[in-house]
Structure 1
C-alpha cells in the first residue's frame, strides 16, 4: 500500500509498504481522510516526540472498517489500562502509552491497524468534520483545565488548535473570546467560529489565556495577559523551554497548566462540537501531493491562509 514514511534527517517519502500488523484486538481501517498536525511537523523538525526512521506518520484520521464498512474515527492514544494514570481514568497520560504515527504505524497510509476499543463511530459527520475530532478534543481538554468561572478568555494562535479552541469556547458560552495571529485571513476564520475580538488589550485582563502556539514569546505573553489569579493553559509544543517572569506569577498567584491531548470521554464529546462547525479553513489535497506539502511545511515554505491541511487518501 502507499504510505507517507519518515526516513530520517527531517525527510519524508511516499513509499510502497506492507500493511501494518494486525493484532488480536486490532481492526484494519481503510483511511479516507487524514490531517497533518503541528505535532507531525515538530516531530520531524525537532525530534519531539522522537521518530524512528521507517515509521508511517499520521494520527488524525477517519476511515471505514474493513470488517463492517462503518465510518469511524480513531483515537490515536493507545493506553495500557493498567498503570496508575489509566486506573484514574487519565488514559491520555498513561505511563506506557503508544501513539499512532509516533510509536506504531500511523494513518498517512491507505490502511491503518487500530485497536478496536480506540475506534469511535463517526455517525453522520462529513469526512472533513470527522478528521477534525482530534484537534477539537485537544482544545476541549485544554478548556476543561481552565477555571469554570472564566468569562474573559484569550487564545494565542489561530492555527488549527487555536481555531478549534475558539469553537469550543463558543460552544461553552464564553462571553469574551479574543484571539491573535500573524495571518490576517486566519483571524477572519476565527471570527466566523465565534471570536469576539482579534485585538488583544495591553496588561493583565483575562481570566484565562490558552496558548496554542507554544513559542517562548507566546508563553511569556500568556502569563502577561492574565489578571491576578488567572490561569494560562499551554497547549502548543513549539519551543522546548518555558521562561517567564517569576515575580508577577508568584505575587499575583497566577497559574500555569500544561494540556496534553484529551481523555477518551472528551474524544467522543468532541463529535457533538464538530458537527456543523464551519470548516472553510481546512484545505484538502490529494494524497499524491502529501510528501511535497509536508516537506514544504518542514522547510517553512508553506504559507497558506487555511490553517489545516487534510490528505484525501480514499473515497
Structure 2
C-alpha cells in the first residue's frame, strides 16, 4: 500500500509499504482522509523528541470499516481516539489518561494513518454522524482539542474572547467560542488569507503587523480588555502581551504548545488576579463530544479545510504550509487518491 513516510529531517516520501496483517481483536479500516497537524510539522523538521524515522505520519484520520466488527459494521465511517496512555501512572489512575506521564500518540510513537489501510482497536473508534461530510469529519480530532480547551478555560457565554493564531487550532477555537455564545471574538494573525476566512466566519480579524491588538481590543471593551484569552500561536510576543490584553480577573488559556520558555508578565497575573490555565489534548468523552458537534458545525468546519491533497502528492504538504502565499489553514490528505 502507499503511505506518507517520515524518512529523516525535512524528508518525507510517498512510499510503497507492506500492508498491515490482520490482527485478532482489531478491525480493518480503509483510510479516506488524514489531516496534517502542527505536530507533523515538528516531525518533518526533525525537532520532535520522540518521532523516529521511518514513520508513517498522521493521527487525524477518517476511516471506513472494511470488515464486520463487534461494535461497528462494514461501511461505517469512524475516527480513532489516538492517544496512547500507560494506565498505571497517577494521571491514568485518577481518570486523566490524556495527561499520562508517558503519553504517546498514533503517528508519532507508532505508525499513523496517512496511508491506505490500518488495523485498530474498536474501543477507540467513534462513529461519524450520518449525513456529516467527510471534509467536516476530517477535523474531529483537532476540534476535540478545543472542546477540552474551552471547558478548561472557564469561558462563559457572552464573554469577549481573543484568539491569537488563525491556524487550524485558532480557527477551531473561534468556531467553538461562537457556538458557546461569545459576544465578540477577536482573532489575530499576520496571514491575510486566513484573516479573510476568519471574517467570513464572523470573527473580528486583526493583523498585528498593521494594528495594535491591545488597542483594538481595549477600544472595543471600554479600556478593560477581554474576558478570556486563548493563546494558539506558540509565539513569544503574545505570551508577553496576553496579560495586558486580558482584563482584571480575566482568564488566559494556553492552547498552543510553546517549544521553549517565553517571558510572561507575572506581575499582571498578581495585580489583576488573572487565571492562567494550560491545556493538553482532550479526554475520550470530549473526543466523542467533538464527533457529535460536527452535526451542528459542519458548514464552519468545512471552511477551514482549505486544501485537499491526494496521497500521491502528499510529500508537498509541508512546502505548502511553509508558503504564506498558499494561504493554508487545514490540509487534509485524500488517502484514496493514490
Could you state the TM-score of these two structures normalised by the residue count of structure 1?
0.91
Which of 119, 128, 132 aligns to 1:122? It is 128
Give runs of aligned pairs for residues 86-235 of structure 1, distance below 5 A: 86-124=92-130, 125-149=132-156, 151-195=159-203, 197-199=204-206, 200-202=213-215, 205-235=225-255
Deviations 1:254-312 (A, max 9, x none): 23222111111111111233332321331111111101222454xx3364223111111
Answer 1 or 2: which has greater helix percent: 2
Which stretch shifts more, 57-66 or 89-98? Answer: 89-98
Deviations 1:43-100 (A, max 9, x none): 3326234311111110111011221221101111123344332333322112343211
Residue 78 of structure 1: aligned partner: 84
Residue 101 of structure 1 and its aligned partner are, at CA, apart by: 0.4
The answer to whether the 8 A contact 2:129-2:292 is kept is no
Measured in 2, the distance between the counterparts of 1:104 and 1:85 equals 22
Larger radius of gyration: 2
Measured in 1, the distance between the counterparts of 2:129 and 2:252 equals 35
The answer to whether the 8 A contact 1:216-1:239 is kept is no
Residue 240 of structure 1 and its aligned partner are, at CA, apart by: 1.9
The answer to whether the 8 A contact 1:42-1:238 is kept is no
Residue 30 of structure 2: aligned partner: 30
SS at match of 2:227: strand
SS at match of 2:56: coil
Q: Give the direction of change, closer, same or farther, for the CA distance of 1:238–1:286 in structure 2 (3 Å limit).
A: farther
Q: Give the direction of change, closer, same or farther, for the CA distance of 1:134–1:303 in structure 2 (3 Å limit).
A: farther
Residue 120 of structure 1 and its aligned partner are, at CA, apart by: 0.6
Deviations 1:149-201 (A, max 9, x none): 36111001111111111111111111121111112222232233332x22444
Could you state the TM-score of these two structures normalised by the residue count of structure 2?
0.85
Residue 11 of structure 1: aligned partner: 11
Structure 2 unaligned runs (5+)?
68-73, 207-212, 219-223
Measured in 1, the distance between the counterparts of 2:88 and 2:29 equals 26
